[in-house]
Structure 1
């Protein structure tokens, strides 16, 4: 085991002296020790067991690729996230995604009202205050104002919240990184399905125009309103599940959050 430990010390000698590297080293040594003892029990000699263990656990280049280590960077002890902070980060991002998704729905609903109210007035369903003129813009501006407030609040939560550093420089303990990777893999089918559903809804939304045309003989404004409603649902799906995916990417530093893309 002394040979294995010396090999591991030499392997990590040029790497940053951070808490993450220390945790990775301890984890690798534990796995190497288990493999060594297993080989010894199977009848392998000391030299055979050591040789197999060292060959199976890769080299320094593989380690640098896996954990995105740049030796040209200044060696520094970055802040390490805890499991509680990670869980709270996910909760905060889900709240932001719901705020932004709901804001988009209100915007599209405001546009829908600009189309729907004149049609209802024309058909005789509405008379009085909303019957004509600039008054038709009042519901539109109210909904836009509420949506803008939601966008602003969500933006301030992201830009000035206590988890804004997650978009900058941080470390993840090895066990926590592995846990997030597993959750990301588990979430991937759900994310894929959400994209498919959103795209299908967007493509099928014009069907409301044809249905309305079949019923009334003309492509009424009611069909446009239903189309915008379906599109708003699709956009909410894109925003909500896309934001969750972005949270995983930010924590794991992959996708547009990877070092090379930044």
Structure 2
């Protein structure tokens, strides 16, 4: 009898612990136990009865399939299509390239200024510094704005299980490239002092500083580019609803995370920090304790994390 119970428990491991599943499990267990007892009355041995009960219960696979369809969560309409995910990942890859080049360009601007100053072309160095810096900052701002733009059409839309699996497969496929870019990027950043030490042997250490910034630019580019691409897949893996901005999730994403407390959490977000700021200024003006009243923000941050954890749906 215990063998039959263990068989049923194993059979239903893949299903959620709902009332419908429990009811179906008890019905099947009752039928199998009745059949088992009937076989014992016919003179079958315990092992023969158990084996016959399990072997004759072939229709249980059909029941499992039927139960899976009835208990499976119905997917919301307007889910994200695979083509939309591929387009988003492709565009995000272009943005990652732009951001990486922009940040590396800022480092190259400093290296160019120092390098031309060492050779005596200070004026040309300053001019070229501002040109490269302005172009790099412009690239950073432009690509930063594109992050929200490319995800606007996907915002708060459902991420299906099949899309989740495909994104996870693509992430695993990119993992090796990410590891290579991360390792090489970190190594190049660590070795950035090598040119300075090399030129110092010839008492020209200042000539190595521009090369140091070149090394840093390449290393930072590899780290940022690889990291942004690697985390892009998480948008379709970690949540059931697509979130463009983690600080501003949509209604569906809010409900998925906070359940019935989503509305209360939304109201809390709007009034909490303005209220904390008012308390800070009020207390500071009344007590003149500006030297330590800023601790209110530290305590408020800790308290907010605790409150947020309470709201998260279990």
TM-score range, shorter chain: 0.5 to 0.7
Return the alpha-carbon distance in structure 1 between the equivalents of residues 173 and 19 of structure 2: 32
Q: Retained in 1: the 8 A contact 2:98–2:140?
A: yes
1:146 aligned onto 2:135: yes
Q: Retained in 2: the 8 A contact 1:78–1:169?
A: no
Distance 1:186 1:9, change over 3 A: closer
Q: 1:103 maps to what in 2? A: 102
Q: Retained in 2: the 8 A contact 1:180–1:248?
A: yes
Distance 1:9 1:113, change over 3 A: closer
Q: 2:212 maps to what in 1? A: 227
Q: 2:227 maps to what in 1? A: 242
Match of 1:164 among 152, 166, 169: 152
Q: Tell me the CA shift for residue 210 of structure 1.
A: 1.1
SS of residue matched to 1:172: coil
RMSD: 4.0
TM-score by length of 2: 0.53
* 1:120-152, Cα deviation, whole Å (9 max, x unpaired): 12xxxxxxxxx445x542111111111121112
Distance 1:210 1:96, change over 3 A: same
Return the alpha-carbon distance in structure 2 between the equivalents of residues 210 and 180 of structure 1: 45
1:198 aligned onto 2:198: no
Q: 1:92 maps to what in 2? A: 91
Distance 1:77 1:179, change over 3 A: closer
**Structure 1 stretch 175-184 or stretch 200-209: which is displaced more?**
175-184
Q: 1:45 maps to what in 2? A: 55
Structure showing greater Rg: 2
TM-score by length of 1: 0.63
Distance 1:228 1:175, change over 3 A: same
* 1:199-251, Cα deviation, whole Å (9 max, x unpaired): 1111111111111112x2241x2211111111111111111111111211111
1:209 aligned onto 2:196: yes
The number of equivalent residue pairs is 199
Distance 1:136 1:218, change over 3 A: closer
Moved over 4 A (4+): 7-14, 256-262
Return the alpha-carbon distance in structure 2 between the equivalents of residues 12 and 99 of structure 1: 52
Q: List gaps (5 residues or longer) in structure 1.
A: 15-42, 64-68, 70-74, 122-130
Q: Retained in 2: the 8 A contact 1:101–1:236?
A: yes
